[in-house]
Chain A
Amino acid sequence: MSAVTASSRWEAVGQLVELNARDQLSRRYGLLAEAISWFKAVDLFRQAELAEMTLRKPGPQDLRRHRACLAQVIAQGERLATLVDSDGLPANPEGITREDIEAQLEALYDTMIGWHGGITQERRQQVMAEVFGGPKPQT
């Protein structure tokens, strides 16, 4: 993963989201294709997150890029969900439903709160101890 720079990973996610947004506006490919493309953008985002935030310690710039990219992916998902609400998603062999889009969106919101929600270390330790028992458990 080292040959690709951090900024290029985040930029790739941003470019795909922008391209998807343009296609969504022009209704170029239809809703199912838009949905599949959004799920791919989420996968690309998760790959960048793994490389830049999980496998190494993120710095302030990484945190900023992560939040910006995440916000873009969420915004596109929300637009997609709105279109699906009004037009419906055609039945498809992949079995993708409106509920799957919603579930993916919720997982992205979880990520936003987990990384950028401002939960204090004290609160984390308190809940970890209460729910999982003992001092902050190691996995």
Chain B
Amino acid sequence: MTHEPPGAAGLQVERTSLAWARTALAASIAALIVTRYGVVRHEALLTASGVLLLVCAAAIGAGAQRRQTYIGRSLAAGRSPVSRTALQLVAIVVVLVGLASLWAILALR
């Protein structure tokens, strides 16, 4: 706390924003793989979960910028920058896509 150089908060926020952007990229690639499998095998549930993940990836990509603004505003106001809802949504979507993929692997083998 006491040895924080000027601008360190900006770097923290930037790193966090980049982590969200990387996650959006990873989610889009996973979404494309899952969606393709769903389309090729005519599996509506898998296709739907792939599209859901793709939408989520787009939302994360757009949200990375808003998150940066929100964190900056929270810090300026002396509030905790934690955003539980965003993390819950991301985790729920990942679990849903995982379940759909697992189901498809077992059903289509």
Does A pair with B? no
| Chain B residues near A (Cβ < 8 Å) | none
